[in-house]
Structure 1
Amino acid sequence: METTTQFTTIWNDNIAYAFGLYRLITQSLGIWPFTCHKFISKCQVLIVCVLQLTMMISIIGEMHLQCGEVSDKIQNISLCSCAFMTIVKVTIIRAHNPRMHEIMMSAMQDWLCVKTADDNKKMRSCAKLGRSICLFQMIGAYVTAIPIILSGFAGHSAVNTTNSTDSDIKILPLGTVCLFQQMSSSFYTSVYIIQCIQLLITCTGNVGCDCYFFGVTMHLSGQIEKLTDDMERFGKEKEDTDCHEKLVALVKRQNHLLELAENLETTFNIVILVELSALTYEICLIALQMVVNLRMGNSVVIINNIIMLQILYLQLFLYSYAGERLSSGLENLGSAIYSSEWCDSPSKVTKDLIFVMMRCRKSFALTAGKVCVMNLESFTNIIKAVGSYFSVLLAMFD
C-alpha cells in the first residue's frame, strides 16, 4: 500500500510522458513494479501464462495432426515461439520485481530532480526515442496480428486432413481447424474470441516487454551521459571542501547508476538469451515462409512476412543498441574525469581522482545469459549467422 501511495504522489506530466506507455503495457500484463503486490496483478500474470500455454498446446496439437500447408506450419511454429517468449519475459520480469522497482523508482526521482532546462531537454530526448520505438513496434506487432485475427471472417475453407476427406471447416485465427472439428456455432465463437485474446496478449507480452526494457535503458543511459557531462565540468570550484564534496557526490551517483545497470542486466540476461535463440529461429522460419509464398504468389502474406521480419530484426537491434549505449557510456566516465580541470584541483582531490578513474575501468556489458555480449558488433555477427542458417534451411527445403 505504501508503494502505491508513494508512486501516486510523485507521478507527474514529465514522468507520464517518459513512462506512461510502459505503464500501460506492463499493467495489462500484471508486471508494473508499483502494483505487483496487488492480488489482481498476480491474477493477471497467471491468466497471461495460462492463455499462452494453452495457445502453445493447441498449436502443437494441430501440428501433431499434420494438417495444413507448409506455410501454415511455419506460421504456427513462429506463433508458438512467440507465446513461449511471452511466458518467459512476463515470469522473469515478475520474479525480479524488486530490482525493477528500484530502477523505476530511481528513474522517477530523476525526473523530479531536474534542475536546468538543458537537463530536461536531454531527458525528454531519451524519453522521445523510447516512446517512438515503442509506438512503432507495438503498431507493427498489432498490424501483423490483424490479418490473422480477421482470417475467420473469410468464411469457410477446404482443408485437407489425414483423417477425413475435404470438407468445409470454420477457420480459426491460430489455424487449429483439425483440433477443433465439427464445432457448434457457440463453441466456435468462444474459441475464436479466446484465440484473438491469446494473439493480442502475445503481441503485448512479447513486443511490449522489449519496449519496456528499451525505454528504461534509454533513461538510464541518459543519466550516465548527464553524469559524464558533470564529471567533465568538475574542478571549477577552487575550495578544497567544495571540490571534495562534489567528487563524493559524483562517485556516489556513479556507483548508483552502475548498480542500476547491473540490476537491469541481472533481470534481462536470461530473457535476452532466450530471445536471441528464438529470434534467430523465427527469422529463418519467416524468411522461409516468405520464399514459399513468393512461389505461390501470395502477395498479402508476403507483405505480412516483411513486416514481421522488420519487427524481429528491430527487436534484436534494440537489445544490441541498448547494450552498446550502456557499456560505452560507463566506459566514457573515465575519459570525462581526465578531461575535467583536475590539474587545478587541490592535491588531495587529485589523488582521489586516480582511484575514481581506476573504478571507471571496471567494465559493464549487457549479456545474453552471461554468454554473449550484446553490442552493435554482436548484432552484425548475429545477422551474418542468421543468413548462414537460412541458407542451410533453404537448401534442405529445396
Structure 2
Amino acid sequence: MNQLLRKGACGTVTELMDVITLFSCGCSLLTKLTVLMIHQNEMSIIVNSAVKDWFDIIDHESRSIMLRYAKIGRRVFISQAVCYISSALSILYTRFPPVEYIRSDPTNSSAIMIGVPLWPDCWTPTNISMNHYMFLFIFQSITLIVFDACYSNCDSFFFGMIMHLSGQFRVLSANFKYFSECSNNEYYTHQLVKLIERHQHLLTMANGFEDIYNLLILIHFGIAIMIICISGIILLISLQSSDFAIVVDMVCRIFLTYFQLFMYCYTGEQLRTEAMNVKNIIYNSPWFNMPLSTVKNMVFVIMRSDYPVSLTAGKIYEMNVPNFLAIVKTITSYFSVMRLAFKENH
C-alpha cells in the first residue's frame, strides 16, 4: 500500500485491484491470526471438545449425522483451496517473464521487466538486475502461495468448526427425540440431566465461538463489501468501454467475494436453525406422557433455547441467509443507480 501511495496508479486497473484486494485480505488475515493467538486458550477448549465428540460417539445415527456435516466442511475446504491456489497460479503465469528473454540477457541491469506477482509492472525499478529481479519474483511467488493457503485454511477452519457445532445440535435433537420415546420413568431423570448438561455445553461452545469471531466477521464483512463495490464500479466502466477482459476479471472477483460472504451467512443460518430445532423437538414430543418433574425441566430447556444462538458481525449484524439476500439486493440496487448515472454521462 505504501508503493501505491508513492508510485501512484500507474498500472492497469486489474493490477491495481489486485493490490487493493491483497492488501485488504492481508489485513484481514493478520487480524484473524492475531485474534486467534490472543484467544488460543478458548479455541483450544473448542477444538478439544470437537475431538472428544468424535471419540465419545458410539451410536450409528449420531456418527452418520457428524459425518454428513464433516463432509460439507471437507467439500468447502477443497473448493476454497482449489479457487485460491488457481488464482495464485494464474497471477504467477501472467506475470512470469518469457524464458527466451531471461536466457538471452541473463545479466541485463537496465531492462524493463515484465513484473512481479504482488504489484504492477511500473512499480518494478527499471535498473534492477536480472538476478535481483528473479529473487524478488520467487520470494513474492512463495509469499503469495503461503498467503492464499493461510487465508483459505482460516476460513475453512471457521466453516468446519461451525458445521461441527451444528451437527452436535442435530445429534442432541435426535437424542431428545429418542428420550421422549422412552417409557421408563427411572430413565427420565438420569438421562434428562445428561441431555441438559450437553445442551448447556453446546450453547457455551457456540457463544464462545461467537465472542471470538464477531470482530473478525465484521472486518471480513466490511472488506467484502468494499471489494464488491469497487469491482462493481470498475465493471460498469469496463462495460461502457467494451473492455471484456476486465469485465470477466471483475465478475469473477465479485462472485468469489459473494461466495465468501455467503459462507459466513450460511454457517450462521445453519447454527441458528439447528440450535432452535432442539426446542421444536421437545415441543413436539409426547411430553404429556412424561413425569411432571421431567416436563417442568424440559420447559426450562425450551426457555433456554429461546435465546438465539447466532453469528454476528461485531454483534451488530446477524449473519444469516435472509440478511445475505438483503445485502445482494441492496448492492444490486446501488449498481443499477450507478449504471444509469454512467449512461447519462455518456
- Provide TM-score, normalisation by structure 1: 0.76
Cα distance between partner residues in 2 of 1:169 and 1:153: 10
AA paired with 1:339? N
The residue that corresponds to 1:195 in the other structure is 140
Cα distance between partner residues in 1 of 2:13 and 2:337: 17
Q: Alignment length, in residue pairs?
A: 331
The residue that corresponds to 1:15 in the other structure is none
Note if 1:81 corresponds to 2:24: yes
Q: Which moved more, 1:321-330 or 1:245-254?
A: 321-330
Instruction: Say whether the 8 Å CA contact 1:90–1:205 is kept in structure 2.
Output: no
Note if 1:170 corresponds to 2:131: no
The residue that corresponds to 1:6 in the other structure is none
Find 1:180's aligned residue among 121, 124, 127: 124
Instruction: Say whether the 8 Å CA contact 2:84–2:152 is kept in structure 1.
Output: yes
Instruction: Say whether the 8 Å CA contact 1:71–1:292 is kept in structure 2.
Output: no
The 1:94/1:219 distance shift into structure 2, 3 A limit, reads: same
Matches within 5 A, 1:32-71: 56-58=1-3, 60-61=4-5, 64-71=7-14
Give the Å deviation of 1:356: 2.0
Give the Å deviation of 1:188: 0.8
The residue that corresponds to 1:339 in the other structure is 284
Question: What are the superposed Cα offsets for residues 231-269 of structure 1, whole Å, 9 maximum, x if unpaired?
Answer: 122234444332111110010000000011011111111
Question: What are the superposed Cα offsets for residues 307-351 of structure 1, whole Å, 9 maximum, x if unpaired?
Answer: 333321111111111111111211221121122232222222122
Note if 1:367 corresponds to 2:312: yes
> For 2:96, what is the secondary structure of its paired residue?
helix
> For 1:172, what is the secondary structure of its paired residue?
coil
The 1:286/1:138 distance shift into structure 2, 3 A limit, reads: farther
AA paired with 1:382? I
Q: Which moved more, 1:235-244 or 1:319-328?
A: 235-244
> For 2:329, what is the secondary structure of its paired residue?
helix
The residue that corresponds to 2:108 in the other structure is none
Note if 1:216 corresponds to 2:161: yes
Q: Which moved more, 1:253-262 or 1:227-236?
A: 227-236
- Provide TM-score, normalisation by structure 2: 0.87
> For 2:112, what is the secondary structure of its paired residue?
strand
The share of aligned pairs that are identical, in percent, is: 30
Instruction: Say whether the 8 Å CA contact 1:283–1:312 is kept in structure 2.
Output: yes
The 1:268/1:386 distance shift into structure 2, 3 A limit, reads: same
Gaps of 5+ in 1: 1-55, 157-166
Instruction: Say whether the 8 Å CA contact 2:12–2:120 is kept in structure 1.
Output: no
Question: What are the superposed Cα offsets for residues 27-63 of structure 1, whole Å, 9 maximum, x if unpaired?
Answer: xxxxxxxxxxxxxxxxxxxxxxxxxxxxx444x346x
Note if 1:348 corresponds to 2:293: yes
Give the Å deviation of 1:382: 1.1
Cα distance between partner residues in 2 of 1:389 and 1:101: 42
The 1:214/1:329 distance shift into structure 2, 3 A limit, reads: same
Instruction: Say whether the 8 Å CA contact 2:115–2:122 is kept in structure 1.
Output: no
Cα distance between partner residues in 2 of 1:274 and 1:174: 22
Instruction: Say whether the 8 Å CA contact 2:16–2:120 is kept in structure 1.
Output: no
AA paired with 1:103? I
Question: What are the superposed Cα offsets for residues 38-93 of structure 1, whole Å, 9 maximum, x if unpaired?
Answer: xxxxxxxxxxxxxxxxxx444x346x433123343233222221222211222122
Gaps of 5+ in 2: 100-110
Find 1:143's aligned residue among 83, 86, 89: 86
The residue that corresponds to 1:109 in the other structure is 52
Cα distance between partner residues in 2 of 1:135 and 1:215: 12
The 1:65/1:300 distance shift into structure 2, 3 A limit, reads: closer
The residue that corresponds to 1:314 in the other structure is 259
Cα distance between partner residues in 2 of 1:254 and 1:203: 37
Give the Å deviation of 1:357: 1.8
Note if 1:252 corresponds to 2:200: no
Cα distance between partner residues in 1 of 2:95 and 2:241: 21
The residue that corresponds to 1:13 in the other structure is none
